[in-house]
Amino acid sequence: MRAVKEHQSWFSLGIIWAGAVISIPSLLVGNALIAGMGVSKVLLVTLVGYSIIVLLMILQGIQSTDLGKPTVQVAGQVFGKTGSRTILSIILAIACLGWFGIQANVCGEALANLLAEIGINIPVPLASLICGLVMVVSAMYGIKVLQVISYIAVPLLIGISVYGLIEALTGDSLKIIQNYKPAAVMNFTDGLAVTLGSFALGAVIAGDYSQFSRKRSDVLKAALFGIVPAGLLMIGAGAVLTIAYQASDITGTFLSIMTPFVGGVILILATWKTNLVNVISGGFALINVFNVSKEKEKWAVAIAGTLGTVLAVVGILNYFTPIMSILSAMIPPVAGVMIASYWVLGKGDKRRWQEVEGVNVLGVVSWLVGAIIACTPVVLSLFPSLPQVPNQPLTGIVISFVIYYIGYRLFAQKTVILEES
């Protein structure tokens, strides 16, 4: 393990993180934000949101670099070994299944539009079902398919995005972009919630990749140069392309940039590539939660993909904004607890870190309270007749941080003594 760790440069880590941002979800965020904001405000929200994400990634990533362990093991101090595995796995499963459904839905729309060009009309739910099942089968029986599709899809996705931007910024569309006024209004904090939700999980589990870095500064440089530029490019592209091609969704945008066939194929390949990762990660998360045997791993992946496909069929893409807001509320409090423990109470000293057996009740309660309070405004927004509360996406991480810090000072040492006796 240490030998591998010696060979990871900050540049290679930055490329891995940039590759995660260069994806259809980032374009979807730009598409969602531009519906309620001007271009300059979208870029500002993106810059602020990804700056916060980078800060979390640095703090989370350095913990794993110091200890040479992945996130789930590092979190074994604040949540306990069992609690960490369960909580992080549940969060990962929920996020992966949601993303799988969203992207299978996008893929279904692309497939339906593509087939319509040649005179074959099928409903989007059916197309989403077909796409989802194909993705599940390929994940079960063809992991190598992921490598092949990635080599093809990523360059094509970058190519069509850059081509579309050049066409938009040098042609007649430039005036449309300059004069654009959104039909609806999205406030800054709601936009920030969407932006944070798009990569909140990546920030929390940053240590899964940075555990192989040689020194702390590698994590700092990789996060700064890998995340912020890629985030601004892709979210900005999603916003500008939506205006320039006057499409209400990312599918319509891609079908308009080149020919419908080329745009549709690239969109299908891009969503397929990312969803193979989602379904495999979601399957492994279910394995951890339910302690599935190795012989049944393939079926855990199948179940995860099937659940995600059901979400696609019912049209989860229509709820993209609230889903991102819920993820931005539920996931960052994990980092709040871990940061309080490692950086404040432990003063960033790896010698003070110690894994706890079982479940650390203080850590679990701190995370849960922060997540519930942060999710409340999002849930209330789904029911307009109820009293509304402003959405403050950073509330959860602050609350979890404070509860853990105070709780540790008051109770934790007594609890450890009772556990050891």
Angle (nearest 5°) at CA 277 between 16 and 42: 65
Long-range contacts of 141-145 (CB under 8 A, 24+ apart): 143/276, 143/280, 145/276
Contacts with 62 (C-beta within 8 Å, 6 or more apart), sequence order: 210, 216, 219, 220, 348
* Chain position carrying tokens 């399957």: 283
How far is residue 72's CA from residue 89's CA, in Å, rounded to a whole number?
9
pLDDT of residue 363: 94
Give the torsion through C-alpha atoms of 236, 18, 64, 45, to 10 deg: 0
| Cβ–Cβ under 8 Å, residues 290 and 90 | no
Helix H or strand E segment including 199:
helix 188-204
Contacts with 404 (C-beta within 8 Å, 6 or more apart), sequence order: 78, 336, 337, 340, 341, 362, 363, 366
pLDDT of residue 406: 95
- Listing DSSP states for 230-266 in one string gives HHHHHHHHHHHHHHHTT-SSHHHHHHHHS-HHHHHHH
| Helical residues (DSSP H) of 296-390, grouped into ranges | 297-313, 320-330, 332-339, 361-381
pLDDT of residue 2: 43
**pLDDT tens for residues 273-321?**
888 888 888 887 888 778 777 677 788 888 889 999 999 999 998 888 8
pLDDT of residue 408: 93
Closest Cα partner for 276 from 418, 408, 144, 119?
Answer: 144
- Listing DSSP states for 382-404 in one string gives T-TTSPP----TTHHHHHHHHHH
How many residues appear in the chain?
Answer: 421
Sequential pLDDT tens for the chain (421 residues): 444 445 578 998 898 888 888 888 899 999 999 999 999 999 999 999 999 999 999 999 999 999 998 898 899 999 998 998 888 888 888 888 889 999 999 999 999 988 988 889 999 999 999 999 999 988 877 567 777 787 888 888 889 988 999 988 887 788 888 888 888 889 999 999 999 998 988 899 898 889 889 899 999 999 999 999 999 999 999 999 999 988 878 888 898 888 888 999 999 998 988 888 888 888 878 887 787 776 777 888 888 899 999 999 999 988 888 888 888 888 999 999 999 999 999 999 999 999 888 899 999 999 999 999 999 988 888 888 888 888 788 899 999 999 999 999 988 655 543 344 3
Domains of the chain: 2-420 (1.10.4160.10)
Q: What is the DSSP letter of 213?
A: B
How far is residue 340's CA from residue 343's CA, in Å, rounded to a whole number?
6
Angle (nearest 5°) at CA 36 between 395 and 262: 110
How far is residue 333's CA from residue 287's CA, in Å, rounded to a whole number?
23
Q: What is the DSSP letter of 346?
A: S
The model's pTM is: 0.84
pLDDT of residue 4: 43
How far is residue 161's CA from residue 30's CA, in Å, rounded to a whole number?
12
* Chain position carrying tokens 């934790």: 412
**pLDDT tens for residues 125-149?**
999 999 999 999 888 775 677 777 8
pLDDT of residue 31: 92
How far is residue 105's CA from residue 126's CA, in Å, rounded to a whole number?
10
Residue 168 corresponds to which tokens in the numbers above? 């938009």
pLDDT of residue 104: 93
